[in-house]
Amino acid sequence: MRILLTGAAGFIGSAVADALTDRGHEIVALDALLPQAHGTVPDTRFPLVRGDVRDAELLRGLLPGADVVCHQAAMVGHGVDPSDMPGYAAHNDLGTAVLLAAMHETGVRRLVLASSMVVYGEGRYRCAEHGHVRPGQRRAEDVEAGRFEPPCPRCGRPLTSELVPEDAPLDPRSTYAATKLAQEHLAAAWARQTGGDVRALRYHNVYGPGMPSGTPYAGVASLFRSALHRGEAPRVLEDGRQRRDFVHVRDVAAANLAAAETPAPQGELDAVNICSGTPRTIGDLAESLASACGGPAPEIVGGARPNDVRHVVADPAKARRVLGFRARVGFADGVREFAAAPLRDAVGQG
């Protein structure tokens, strides 16, 4: 197949490019090389078109003959403060809208969309008395007092965290999260209007070789790894018991390959969790990385990032059912590899 891959030089995009190329697919690789993700221009195994996904004329030149678009390009991370909002909306939402319009004009009818678990907000919780409930925003006074677990909004009792299925309520709690959900809505509208098909892959916490370093937009794995590289202890917010699902970047690339080769139902968006299926805590990650790097032990510092969530871990069942996808890289092996692998150049270098 001929596949237009946006964000092809990025952390995840480059792994997807390798997986598609190794399978024998022809890729057309596009990347804007945003400075939030790239310090220097990365080496790639394939010709790279440097350009912006918001450039409709460029897209109309790249799309003819494509069988599917694999859309990885985005500004990522929580952001620094609300002044980031225009950039996120421009790159993620306007960029997706321009891409979808160009696909319509050139007759391309299949899309694999990189989405994120952040669209869920908090994870799935059960109260012993009231069943499944949605906890409210965590209060600053609770976080400051070290009360990190969200209580039942109806009775105040402790909640039990469960795996999040794809049909869980969506409640984005950051600028990035809001733009990722908007991407899904735009793609769903396009599918209904054109009869096209969309697979939205909701990535959970992706880690692995090639993560960018030295940027507030990076994920927690990169922040811990960068600190250890400097000889510093990883700083763990809250009490370190926040539960996440850490999935290796090669597994994410394998999921994209499966999605590219497996059409979704026509005229709709089909969302799929991409995860390891094995929940871990933030503290687990920090301790495992510190041990693998031979660095100082993590420091538990309390506090929390604004609008961060306590627990969000995924149900992997649908990915197995519709894509035949099952994560292959175990946590211990993946962390050891990540500890020894170089990160991308720090932002601003090069």
Q: Which of 17-31, 36-50, 274-288 has the lowest mean pLDDT?
A: 36-50
Asked whether residue 69 carries a pLDDT value surpassing 90, the answer given is yes
Q: Which of 33-42, 104-113, 151-160, 192-201 has the lowest mean pLDDT?
A: 33-42
Architecture of domain 2-124+162-340: 3-Layer(aba) Sandwich (3.40)
Asked whether residue 348 carries a pLDDT value surpassing 60, the answer given is no
Task: Tell me if residue 27 falls in helix, strand or coil.
Answer: strand
pLDDT digits (tens, 9 = 90+) for 99-132: 999 999 999 999 999 999 999 999 999 999 999 9
Calculate the alpha carbon distances from 34 to 6, 24, 46, 97 in Å.
12, 28, 19, 19
Q: How many residues does the chain have?
A: 350
3-state helix, strand, coil in the chain (%, to 5): 35, 20, 45
Q: Which residues pair with 268 in a beta bridge?
A: 197
The residues, any chain, with a CB within 8 Å of residue 167's CB and separated by 6 or more, are: none
In the predicted model, what is the mean pLDDT of residues 75-104? 92
Whether the CB-CB separation of 143 and 95 falls below 8 Å is answered with: no
For 315-344, give one letter per residue: b (16+ CB within 10 A) or e: bbebbeebbebebebebeebbbbbbeeebb
Give the pTM: 0.95
Residue ranges of domains in the chain: 2-124+162-340, 125-161
Give pLDDT, residue 346: 57
Percent of the chain exceeding pLDDT 90 equals 84
In the predicted model, what is the mean pLDDT of residues 135-156? 92
Angle of helix 175-194 relative to helix 95-106, nearest 10 degrees, comes to: 20
Provide the mean pLDDT of the chain: 93
The residue behind tokens 């980031």 is 84
124: Cα separation from own chain's centroid: 18
Tell me the backbone φ, ψ of residue 306, rounded to 5 degrees: -55, 135
The residues, any chain, with a CB within 8 Å of residue 249's CB and separated by 6 or more, are: 11, 12, 15, 206, 207, 208, 209, 210
Q: Which of 33-42, 56-65, 184-193, 316-325 has the lowest mean pLDDT?
A: 33-42
Give pLDDT, residue 131: 97
Give pLDDT, residue 41: 66
Whether the CB-CB separation of 50 and 44 falls below 8 Å is answered with: no
CA distance 146 to 155: 20
Strands 205-207 and 246-248, bridge-based pairing: parallel
Q: Which of 137-151, 286-300, 317-331 has the lowest mean pLDDT?
A: 137-151
Give pLDDT, residue 336: 97
The residue behind tokens 């007759």 is 107
Confidence of residue 347 (pLDDT cuts 50, 70, 90): low
Expressed in angstroms, the distance from the first to the final Cα of the chain is 35
Confidence of residue 217 (pLDDT cuts 50, 70, 90): low
pLDDT digits (tens, 9 = 90+) for 175-189: 999 999 999 999 999
pLDDT digits (tens, 9 = 90+) for 231-244: 999 999 999 999 99
Q: How many CB atoms lie within 10 A of CB 62?
A: 19
pLDDT digits (tens, 9 = 90+) for 274-322: 999 999 999 999 999 999 999 999 999 999 887 789 999 999 999 999 9
Instruction: Write out the E strands in the chain.
Output: 2-6, 26-31, 48-50, 68-71, 110-116, 124-127, 131-133, 160-164, 197-203, 205-207, 235-237, 243-244, 246-248, 268-274, 280-281, 299-302, 313-314
Confidence of residue 209 (pLDDT cuts 50, 70, 90): very high
Give pLDDT, residue 52: 97
Give pLDDT, residue 82: 87
DSSP 261-315: HSPPPTTEEEEEEE--S--EEHHHHHHHHHHHHT-PPPEEEE---TT--S--EE-
Confidence of residue 40 (pLDDT cuts 50, 70, 90): low
As a dihedral over the C-alpha atoms of residue 153, residue 155, residue 161, residue 167, rounded to 10 degrees, the angle is: -50
CA distance 8 to 75: 13
